[in-house]
Amino acid sequence: MGEQYRIRPFKPGDHDRLHEIREAAFRPVFRSFREIVGKKIASIAMVNAEKEQAELLDKICKDDSSYDLFVIEHSGEVVGFCGLKLDNKTKVGEIELVAVHPDQQGKGLGTALNEAALDFMRKAGMRVVTVGTGGDPSHAAARRSYEKAGFGPTIPSVWMFRTL
């Protein structure tokens, strides 16, 4: 990651840009999911997937939210973000939503965001951090980024569908 990148806390003026990044970064993921499950199931089970993710991002962005949110800038433009949640009772933090604009992917920015989140959570007293991601091919880069940031072990999970 070059010197022209900077990680900072979210500002309300970043909101619309974060949605642009989320849409661009997750478009191939949602397309992959729909291809995996097929048109019939996707038209029922995934019809609101993007909307639900947009609502999650809105929730993370709120001032009164229980989330923390960081962005990464390149030459003054926001190009990625990382939302996280801390549980002060259990001392377990969770990386909730990470996205880097496709034009900036493959440069270590996701890993840098993850490492900044880990540092923030460590300083906040968290003892364990979790992150969930897909096991499908469209999440391969995300898995690599989490592994580079030191995440592991993993618990395999399977998400199954069927029509009725």
pLDDT for res 3 = 61
- Torsion angle defined by CA atoms of residues 10, 12, 57 and 18, in that order, rounded to the nearest 10 degrees: -70
Q: Is 155 strand, coil or helix?
A: coil
Listing from the earlier edge strand, what are the strands of the sheet with 67-74? 5-9, 67-74, 77-87, 92-100, 128-131
Model confidence over 63-87: pLDDT tens digits? Answer: 887 899 999 999 899 999 999 999 9
Q: Give the predicted TM-score (pTM) of the model.
A: 0.92
- Going by pLDDT thresholds of 50, 70 and 90, the confidence category of residue 4 is confident
Model confidence over 107-125: pLDDT tens digits? Answer: 999 999 999 999 999 999 9
- Going by pLDDT thresholds of 50, 70 and 90, the confidence category of residue 1 is low
Domains of the chain: 5-148 (3.40.630.30)
pLDDT for res 146 = 92
Q: Is 8 strand, coil or helix?
A: strand
Mean pLDDT of the residues in the chain = 93
